[in-house]
Amino acid sequence: MADETSRKGTVYYNPGVLEYVQRVHAAHDGSLEKAFEAPAQHGLPAIQVGPSEGRLLQVLLQLVGAMKVVEIGTLAGYSAIWMALDAGA
């Protein structure tokens, strides 16, 4: 959740570490890349989850054995794609 400091642009992460985690843990395929870039290309707000958060959603759903998922409030479908992906694929 955002606080006043982060709303002013203060970052609490190391960009190099974040890039490494995204490359190793949450790599994009074509559908994910297209959905991730859609907001910027179409003037949508940049409020979507990042690659690591999308991967976390996928892992959590697999851990609970979810067979169906309903997402409310899809922006460009990025998190929905993560949740629909089969981890074995």
Report if residue 4 sits inside a domain: no
Report if residue 6 sits inside a domain: no
Handedness of CA 30, 75, 54, 9 (dihedral sign): positive
Side chain identity, residue 43: G
> What is the span of the domain harbouring residue 86?
28-89
> Looking at the 3D structure of the chain, how many domains does it have?
1
Report if residue 40 sits inside a domain: yes
Q: What is the pTM of this model?
A: 0.67
Report if residue 70 sits inside a domain: yes
Report if residue 9 sits inside a domain: no
Report if residue 75 sits inside a domain: yes
Residues 15-66 pLDDT 10s = 888 788 777 877 777 888 888 888 888 888 877 788 888 888 898 999 999 8
Report if residue 64 sits inside a domain: yes
